Structure 1
Amino acid sequence: MGDLDRYARQVSLAEIGDAGQRRLLASTAAVVGCGALGTNIANGLVRAGVGRVRLIDRDFIELNNLQRQVLFDETDIAQGLPKAVAAAAKLRKINSQVEVEPVVTDVNPDNVEQLVGDVDLVLDGTDNFETRLLINDVCVKRDIPWIYGGVISTCGMTMTIVPHDTPCFRCFLNELPAPGSSPTCDMVGVLGTAAMVVAALEVTEGIKLLTGQMDALRRELLYCDVWAGSFERLGLAKDDTPCPACDLGQYEFLEARQGSWATALCGRDAVQINLRHEMQTSFPQLAERLRSVGEVAYNDYLLRFRVEPYELNVFPDGRTIVKGCSDPALARTLYARYVGL
């Protein structure tokens, strides 16, 4: 077996075999989001031997992440590492055969095709519908399969989307939910084991796709409540109304005709500010300017500025997470005041 020795128990499965394992090793997958779902997904992919795994995440690690985000520890917090970078370091120690590529950025209409356009599979580890609808647009446009997953409280759901074969995510969710209409993890919490279960289901579907076993795919929405121990399959038949994405080829989220540039972050009293241009001021210059009004610390990946009761976390591309407020207008005001537009 040689180079497949580490996968011996997986190769022994009739569903995988030697040929299936070699297909996994030759595959590339992108995981969008390195939170509760994304870290569990990435862990499963790397241990299974998917040859190249790209980790895409905009965020940094906080103490309350450790309850459910399995690739991080307290040392990562002390070092101020972005999630994608810390996760990649852990995963390389788990399986040195796999190429793990961290990308510290926000997924938006300007960069999403570059981020996922060359992969064989996209797996959803995000926490918001806007990004999922954007992923759906690019995957339908590029004919890339992707797997949706979501977790809230003790419940989760997942569905597999194969463009031009199954209904797409836009068929399932035609428009963004109205603000405040959906529960968030800061309102109702999230159980770590719910994320583990949904991630396991996503990775399993991913293995089916990457090994070419299309007949084995689950072609419905699977809903689970791990506290109740219940699973429910929900059919996803297309109706007579044409889907803007997969029927009409209208990619409204990809073309930025829908969506926003200020996004409230799930589970946190924070707003993310996105820019269409890169920040012109370097971290050392910005830090020098801000020290007269607040506490500043920075590394290659992040500048953190505290001015009570707010905290601004600035990334190299100018993207900023404003903590201590949930009002996008206030967040933009604070950004303009301290970082500059």
Structure 2
Amino acid sequence: MVERYSRQILFPGIGETGQQLLKEKHVLIVGAGALGTGNAEMLTRAGIGKLTIVDRDYVEWSNLQRQQLYTENDARERIPKAVAAKRRLKQVNSDVSIDAQIMDVTPQELERICDGIDLIIDATDNFDIRMMMNDIAHKYKVPWIYGSCVSSYGISYTIIPGVTPCLHCLMRQVPVGGMTCDTNGIISPVVQMVTAYQSVEALKLLTKNENALRNKLVSFDLWTNQHTSINVEKLKNKDCRTCGERPTYPFLAYENQTKAAVLCGRDTVQIRPKKQGNRDWENLAFNLSKIGNVEQNPFLLSFTTDGNRLVLFQDGRVLVHGTNDVVHAKTLYNRYFG
């Protein structure tokens, strides 16, 4: 429908040719939180051909302040974010093909879903996952757009394999600790600003307007009115194990993958089983209901006992709420789901 995109087609940078290119493109968005929902909605309204949205979590009340696709009902029913996002986006533009994946991101999963991907957008809050994305993007020569925000601060950078420094070049090592939305809060305008930077770079790449790319790392603090644009070209490292002359893609190696992860200041530990597989949910729910409170929807089972809430997903992952102690979380996991 030309009328639907008429104002976008009138824009000289896109035009009819660019609009047709958008329709042919497939974008992977890793994470369906604040940045993920913002980018997904912009690209869906712009007429992208296909979106694959990957997220491991479900909608909670604290998400509603800034994660624009979700409703109170999604939080009330603990709908997985990928599913809730797909439902809303199909109402926005039914012509866009949307693949919603409820899963934890691992190198194996990235390898499986990256075939045919034209662009990856970072919308996660986890540097382990970002480094995996960085390796996958360079292994398969797929551009990706880094984005992060917390408090009133945001940052974004577009990474082109073989051209720009990669995230490994910039960071040199995976950051540990630091501010998170759960420890320092966040205001929604900073989300919209980072989303705008990511989405416009995505439109440039997807419509083959590489000459219009920003080519700099941008950071800003909306509350203190600071804005910085940095040329990081000289940081490209020829010995980098991800994008250098002899890449080994270290963050795809099994020993560098997190098996039990404390989730970003949320007083929650994720346990990922050795093997994925479906469980007999009906029997499990019946047995667990004898010792605690059980709630279910088609995507997850929530079990509360002794001050801890354990949420089981269909792929076998469990979120253990109420603790940051990995050992204690594993004990609870093995006691109830092992």
User: What's the TM-score bracket when you normalise by the shorter of the two chains?
Assistant: over 0.9
Deviation at 1:127, TM superposition (A): 0.4
Name the structure 1 match of 2:126: 128
Pair 1:159 & 2:157 matched:
yes
Deviation at 1:297, TM superposition (A): 1.6
Q: Secondary structure at the match of 1:257?
A: helix
Counterpart contact for 1:120–1:145, Cα < 8 Å:
yes
Pair 1:212 & 2:234 matched:
no
Match of 2:199 among 192, 199, 203: 203
Counterpart contact for 1:283–1:298, Cα < 8 Å:
no
Name the structure 1 match of 2:179: 183
TM-score (norm 2): 0.96
Name the structure 1 match of 2:243: 246
Pair 1:317 & 2:312 matched:
no
- Counterparts of 1:32-43 in structure 2 under 5 Å? 32-43=30-41
Deviation at 1:39, TM superposition (A): 0.6
Name the structure 1 match of 2:263: 265
Name the structure 2 match of 1:292: 290
CA RMSD of aligned residues (A): 1.3
Q: Which amino acid aligns with 2:132?
A: L
Q: Secondary structure at the match of 2:89?
A: helix
CA distance in structure 2 between the aligned counterparts of 1:66 and 1:239, rounded to whole angstroms: 39
Deviation at 1:281, TM superposition (A): 2.7
Q: Deviations over 1:183-227 (max 9, x none)?
A: 121111111111111011101000000011111112121101122
Deviation at 1:286, TM superposition (A): 1.5
Mark the runs of 5 or more structure 1 residues left unpaired by the alignment: none
Q: Which amino acid aligns with 2:136?
A: V
- Counterparts of 1:4-19 in structure 2 under 5 Å? 4-19=2-17
CA distance in structure 1 between the aligned counterparts of 2:216 and 2:96, rounded to whole angstroms: 31
CA distance in structure 2 between the aligned counterparts of 1:240 and 1:263, rounded to whole angstroms: 30
Q: Which stretch of structure 1 is more off in the superposition, 166-175 or 204-213?
A: 166-175
- Residues 240 and 315 of structure 1: is their aligned pair in 2 closer, same or farther, counting only changes over 3 Å? closer
Counterpart contact for 1:34–1:55, Cα < 8 Å:
yes
Deviation at 1:256, TM superposition (A): 2.3
- Counterparts of 1:37-186 in structure 2 under 5 Å? 37-178=35-176, 180=177, 182-186=178-182
CA distance in structure 1 between the aligned counterparts of 2:99 and 2:12, rounded to whole angstroms: 30
Deviation at 1:122, TM superposition (A): 0.5
Q: Deviations over 1:120-144 (max 9, x none)?
A: 0010110010000000111100000
CA distance in structure 2 between the aligned counterparts of 1:336 and 1:159, rounded to whole angstroms: 41
Pair 1:255 & 2:245 matched:
no
Question: Following superposition, which runs of at least 4 residues in structure 1 exceed 3 angstroms of deviation?
Answer: none
CA distance in structure 2 between the aligned counterparts of 1:175 and 1:261, rounded to whole angstroms: 19
CA distance in structure 2 between the aligned counterparts of 1:123 and 1:240, rounded to whole angstroms: 23
TM-score (norm 1): 0.95
- Residues 24 and 149 of structure 1: is their aligned pair in 2 closer, same or farther, counting only changes over 3 Å? same
Deviation at 1:278, TM superposition (A): 1.4
Of all paired residues, the percent bearing the same amino acid is 39
CA distance in structure 2 between the aligned counterparts of 1:139 and 1:164, rounded to whole angstroms: 11
Deviation at 1:280, TM superposition (A): 5.2
Q: Which stretch of structure 1 is more off in the superposition, 86-95 or 249-258?
A: 249-258
Q: Secondary structure at the match of 1:311?
A: strand
Match of 1:29 among 27, 48, 62: 27
Q: Secondary structure at the match of 1:56?
A: strand
Q: Deviations over 1:274-295 (max 9, x none)?
A: 1231145321121122112111
- Residues 317 and 242 of structure 1: is their aligned pair in 2 closer, same or farther, counting only changes over 3 Å? same
Name the structure 1 match of 2:188: 192
Deviation at 1:239, TM superposition (A): 5.2
CA distance in structure 2 between the aligned counterparts of 1:67 and 1:226, rounded to whole angstroms: 17
Mark the runs of 5 or more structure 2 residues left unpaired by the alignment: none
Counterpart contact for 2:261–2:270, Cα < 8 Å:
yes
- Residues 293 and 21 of structure 1: is their aligned pair in 2 closer, same or farther, counting only changes over 3 Å? same
CA distance in structure 2 between the aligned counterparts of 1:204 and 1:300, rounded to whole angstroms: 36
Deviation at 1:230, TM superposition (A): 2.6
Counterpart contact for 1:117–1:138, Cα < 8 Å:
no
Q: Which stretch of structure 1 is more off in the superposition, 141-150 or 3-12?
A: 3-12
Counterpart contact for 1:68–1:192, Cα < 8 Å:
yes
Counterpart contact for 2:166–2:236, Cα < 8 Å:
no
Q: Deviations over 1:18-69 (max 9, x none)?
A: 1001100110001110001111110111011111111110000111100010
Q: Deviations over 1:50-103 (max 9, x none)?
A: 111111100001111000100001111233311010111101111111111111
